[in-house]
Amino acid sequence: MEDSNPRPLAGFTVGVTAARRADELIALLRRRGASVLHAPALRIVPLADDSELLAATKELIGCPPDAVVATTAIGFRGWVEAADGWGIGEELLRTLRSTELLARGPKVKGAIRAAGLVEEWSPRSESLAEVLDRLLSAGVAGRRIALQLHGEPLPGFVEALKAGGAEVVVVPVYRWMPPQDLAPLDRLLEAIVGGAVDAVSFTSAPAAASLLSRAAERGMREAVLGALRGGPLSACVGPVTALPLQALGVDTVQPERFRLGPLVQLLCQELPGRARVLPVAGHRMEIRGHAVLLDAELRPVPPAGMALLHALARRPGWVVARAELLRALPGAGRDEHAVETAMARLRAALGAPNLIQTVVKRGYRLSLDAGGDDKYGEFPQDAAVTARGVLG
């Protein structure tokens, strides 16, 4: 059904690699009109079953640290709750009361106080870099410092503390492993290579690394990297998340505030800005991922039709031969009749047959308005296209 008031992500498909808080991110995307392809790149090890977290907790209780850095609210709460489940919750709280407790930001402060504790200090910037600067400026030589992680490493943080002479105990809250069901991730990889997604969202560095690791297992790593370098938008929740992609030459975008809401808002700005807009037969045509906005009305288009439309839009107003359009069709073989069938369905989906002209014995072209627009310059003067050679 046509949408006369399209939402900002209508007509776009976004891949979601998140496991934790995936439902929240998917709901935000769908509320703004996106189609979502959910492929968790990781799974979270249940805290109650996490032997590494239990071992780290017992180590800290047995030999209390001089300082504890709490990095995330959900991670800190999960740590305390897991300790309660193991019957050592009160011992952990006593240990934390006796140490210098540093909180990365206001959410972590709230979690600390909800546990009946009080933080020693917290930076206004919510930056771990500022926490590190404070520790190093005070001197860490000979000090025992515990760092509560939340599923992903903190590049340079542990190394800098050790270089300063500290003993560092890592508390790995919410460790991540590859998903048990790899089929959704495989489908996302194929969609990336096949150009079927407009953006892929990443909310953790391990998720990005896991996606590329699975691509390597399937012999698709270079194909996936090539597609990400020139195709769908790689949207990361923050700069740390983007590191595995940027290290391999993949351009990324990140919001100024490292949260899910700003990440979705960034997609709402970026994706419509990447859509091709053309003045065609007196209409404003905006070509999105799997749909067209025609005078602000959303018109879904089948995949074969979108392939033809993208081929025509690469040279707006010029005649594109049937043979070239056939090559653009996925799995069409050598039968040019497939072009006619797909073209008929494309015209039906657009609801305005005069948008695409048939040029007898030559091919098809978009009916670009004379003068075009600033983006595409003047209307191409194809001398071979005459009134006798064009059919509506």
Q: What is the pLDDT of residue 185?
A: 97
pLDDT at 387 over 90: no
pLDDT (average), residues 129-149: 95
Q: Name the percent of the chain lying above pLDDT 70.
A: 91
The model carries a pTM of 0.72
Q: What is the pLDDT of residue 296?
A: 87
Q: What is the pLDDT of residue 5?
A: 62
pLDDT in tens, 51-86: 889 999 999 999 999 999 999 888 899 999 999 999
Closest CA to 344 of 335, 336, 353: 353
Q: Which position has the higher pLDDT, 44 or 215?
A: 215
pLDDT at 384 over 60: no
Dihedral angle sign, alpha carbons of residues 89, 90, 92, 97: positive
363-366 and 320-321 beta bridge pairing: antiparallel
Question: In a 3-state reduction of DSSP, which class is residue 160?
Answer: helix
Q: Which position has the higher pLDDT, 200 or 20?
A: 200
Closest CA to 143 of 168, 121, 163: 168
pLDDT in tens, 146-192: 999 876 667 689 999 999 999 999 998 877 788 989 999 999 999 99
Asked if the domains 13-42+179-274 and 47-175 are classified in one and the same CATH topology, the answer is yes
pLDDT in tens, 89-106: 999 999 999 999 999 989
pLDDT in tens, 243-294: 899 999 999 999 988 789 999 999 999 999 989 999 999 999 999 999 999 9
pLDDT at 392 over 80: no
Task: List beta partners, residue 145.
Answer: 67, 168
Q: Are 192 and 158 contacting, i.e. CB atoms less than 8 angstroms apart?
A: no
Query: How many CB atoms are closer than 10 A to CB 80?
Result: 22
**Domains of the chain by residue range:** 13-42+179-274, 47-175, 276-391
Q: 276-391 has which CATH code?
A: 1.10.10.10
Class of domain 13-42+179-274: alpha beta
Q: What is the pLDDT of residue 155?
A: 65
Q: For the chain, what is the mean pLDDT?
A: 88
Domain 47-175 belongs to what topology?
Rossmann fold (3.40.50)
| Calpha distance 121→137 (Å, rounded) | 14
The DSSP call for residue 237 is: S
Confidence of residue 374 (pLDDT cuts 50, 70, 90): very low
